[in-house]
């Protein structure tokens, strides 16, 4: 009997749980299963070592990995435990630049229990392999590049006529237009705008040259589109994007719901503002010379200083806020979001939820993305290694749980009927 791999969803969304089964093995046969993704020339791989059951079957959902990039039982362990393949730089982040194309994953089965390095030699032959595709952008989702006035970005629309509740999506100091999460929101029923704000097109080249009016104009433009329900707008951001998301929730009466992933409740760098915003914003935070040098990279978590009295008082606004906080964040001190939650008086606590995740780092992505604990970044004209934090298993659990909470938050606060947190597409590790 010939070994083969079966997958229940060969064209799944990235937040879908898959059932991967290897059949046609010998009773109690030792095998190694590897998942490999190549993106922008960078190769990532996750693997587990398994023992086939009495019927010669390895069901990844029920059989434990005894060794590999993960151990134990996890249906998606081959994906969230991925690391750079042999010969690749150790500091990489798997990011899909073009959400119109899939993450193509090569699944392969090897005889015996192997190391990752051994699988990348010619000494071991594959028993079988299978290629699957995992998408951020579902079939029927429309994608449009946006150039309207100053506004730049990528718009994603779900199938159907709409109007749809809208979500503006922003990332951090990486810059450019990052599409993948906005595409996934559209795949789950939201009109979404991936909004860049520097290092893209004719936008500013320096993160210190931003002005708040750009983001307010983006909200106004988005709310006026015929396919968007202008009465049900949300905004989400991570890092600097989360910081801006909180401020949009404070300044714009059109924003009903905010998700902040490890972003501060104050400005961490210069942000100009004019008109009716003058006097409404606290000055940027101060910086201390507390950069910690580690073997993995620079730890910035103790460099930003801001007193609670200088937080932007979003707790005075009738906007629903979800705070996602990685307690192993090495970029910003996690206490900032706890302090923000404590600013809410008892009679307004219902407007804010704080989810603290032990062992999770700064870069909390949608489910099953591999941990990027350290990456290269440009700092003061030099390329350095930046430590973002996170422990592999805990970070994976945080990504999966927080994504369910984010979808539930937007579906309920933006008034999508029948939102059910326990019946969303993602599931537990």
Whole-number pLDDT of residue 275: 52
- Structure token digits, residue 131: 């290629």
320 belongs to the catalytic site:
no
Question: Which of residues 11 and 245 earns the better pLDDT score?
Answer: 245
Q: How confident is the model at residue 286 (pLDDT cuts 50, 70, 90)?
A: confident
CB 224 within 8 A of CB 230: yes
Whole-number pLDDT of residue 278: 45
What is the rounded CA–CA span in Å between residue 319 and residue 332? Answer: 24
| Average pLDDT over every residue of 193-206 | 95
Picking from 265, 256, 182, 200, the residue whose alpha carbon sits closest to that of residue 223 is: 256
* Half-sphere exposure of residue 239: CA atoms within 13 angstroms, side-chain side: 17
329 belongs to the catalytic site:
yes
User: What is the CATH number assigned to the segment(s) 142-423?
Assistant: 3.40.50.1820
pLDDT at 429 over 90: no
What is the rounded CA–CA span in Å between residue 378 and residue 30? Answer: 45
CB 107 within 8 A of CB 7: yes
pLDDT at 418 over 70: no
pTM of structure? 0.94
The 8-class DSSP code of residue 206 comes to S
- Structure token digits, residue 323: 């705070």
What is the rounded CA–CA span in Å between residue 210 and residue 206? Answer: 8
In the chain the first and final C-alpha atoms are separated, in Å, by 32
Q: Which of 75, 192, 223, 239 is catalytic?
A: 239
- The residue assigned the tokens 């079957």 is 57
CB 369 within 8 A of CB 39: no
| Superfamily per CATH, domain 4-135 | Acyl-CoA thioester hydrolase/BAAT N-terminal domain (2.60.40.2240)
Whole-number pLDDT of residue 28: 98
Picking from 318, 158, 322, 144, the residue whose alpha carbon sits closest to that of residue 228 is: 158
Taking the CA atoms of residue 315, residue 319, residue 322 and residue 323 in that order, the dihedral angle to the nearest 10 degrees is: -30
Q: Which of 247, 362, 395, 409 is catalytic?
A: 362
Picking from 246, 374, 385, the residue whose alpha carbon sits closest to that of residue 316 is: 246
Weakest-pLDDT range from 177-191, 296-310, 356-370: 296-310
Domain residue ranges of the chain, discontinuous segments joined by +: 4-135, 142-423
Whole-number pLDDT of residue 425: 44
The 8-class DSSP code of residue 275 comes to G
220 membership: H or E segment, kind and range: helix 212-223
Q: How confident is the model at residue 311 (pLDDT cuts 50, 70, 90)?
A: very high
pLDDT tens per residue across span 113-125: 999 999 999 999 9
b/e burial code for range 142-151 (CB count within 10 A of at least 16 → b): ebeebeeeeb
CB 364 within 8 A of CB 396: no
CB 356 within 8 A of CB 325: yes
239 belongs to the catalytic site:
yes
What is the rounded CA–CA span in Å between residue 92 and residue 107? Answer: 21
| Average pLDDT over every residue of 135-143 | 97
Picking from 3, 155, 15, 24, the residue whose alpha carbon sits closest to that of residue 79 is: 15
156-160, 206-210, 269-273 — most confident range:
156-160
- The residue assigned the tokens 């059951």 is 53
pLDDT tens per residue across span 17-65: 999 999 999 999 999 999 999 999 999 999 999 999 999 999 999 999 9
111, β-bridge pairs: 31
Q: How confident is the model at residue 161 (pLDDT cuts 50, 70, 90)?
A: confident
What is the rounded CA–CA span in Å between residue 66 and residue 51? Answer: 9
pLDDT at 342 over 90: yes
pLDDT at 428 over 50: no
What is the rounded CA–CA span in Å between residue 102 and residue 14? Answer: 9
Peptide bond before residue 163 is cis, with ω within 30 degrees of 0: yes
Q: Which of 329, 395, 401, 409 is catalytic?
A: 329
The 8-class DSSP code of residue 210 comes to E
């Amino acid at each position: 009997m010939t070994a083969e791999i079966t997958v229940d969803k060969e064209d799944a969304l990235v937040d879908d749980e898959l059932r991967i089964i290897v059949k046609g093995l010998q009773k109690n046969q030792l095998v190694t299963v590897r998942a490999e993704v190549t993106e922008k020339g960078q190769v990532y791989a996750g693997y587990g070592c398994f023992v086939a059951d009495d019927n010669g079957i390895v069901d990844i959902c029920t059989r434990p990995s005894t060794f590999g990039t993960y151990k134990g039982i996890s249906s998606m362990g081959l994906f969230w435990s991925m690391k750079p393949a042999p010969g690749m730089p150790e500091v990489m982040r798997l990011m899909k630049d073009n959400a119109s194309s899939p993450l193509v994953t090569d699944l392969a089965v090897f005889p015996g229990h192997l190391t990752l390095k051994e699988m990348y030699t010619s000494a071991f032959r594959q028993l079988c392999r299978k290629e699957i595709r995992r998408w951020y952008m579902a079939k029927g989702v429309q994608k449009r590049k946006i150039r309207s006035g100053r506004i730049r970005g990528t718009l994603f629309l779900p199938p159907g006529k709409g109007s749809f509740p809208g979500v503006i999506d922003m990332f951090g100091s990486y810059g450019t237009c990052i599409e993948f999460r906005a595409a996934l929101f559209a795949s789950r029923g939201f009109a979404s705008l991936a909004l860049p704000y520097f290092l893209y097109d004719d936008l500013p080249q320096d993160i210190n040259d931003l002005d708040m009016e750009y983001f307010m104009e983006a909200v106004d433009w988005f709310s006026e589109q015929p396919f968007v329900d202008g009465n049900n707008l949300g905004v989400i951001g991570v890092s600097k994007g989360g910081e801006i998301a909180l401020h949009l929730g404070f300044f714009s009466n059109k924003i009903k719901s905010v998700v902040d992933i490890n972003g501060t409740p104050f400005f961490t760098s210069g942000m100009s503002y004019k008109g009716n915003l003058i006097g409404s914003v606290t000055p940027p935070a101060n910086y201390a010379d507390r950069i910690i040098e580690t073997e993995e990279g620079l730890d910035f978590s103790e460099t930003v200083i801001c007193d609670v009295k200088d937080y932007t008082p979003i707790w005075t606004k009738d906007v629903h806020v979800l705070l996602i906080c990685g307690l192993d964040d090495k970029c910003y001190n996690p206490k900032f979001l706890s302090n923000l939650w404590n600013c809410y008086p008892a009679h307004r606590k219902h407007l804010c939820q704080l989810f603290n995740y032990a062992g999770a780092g700064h870069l909390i992505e949608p489910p099953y993305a591999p941990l990027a604990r350290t990456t290269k970044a440009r700092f003061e004209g030099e390329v350095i290694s930046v430590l973002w934090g996170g422990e592999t298993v805990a970070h994976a659990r945080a990504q999966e749980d927080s994504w369910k909470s984010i979808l539930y938050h937007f579906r309920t606060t933006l008034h999508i009927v029948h939102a059910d947190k326990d019946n969303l597409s993602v599931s537990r590790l």
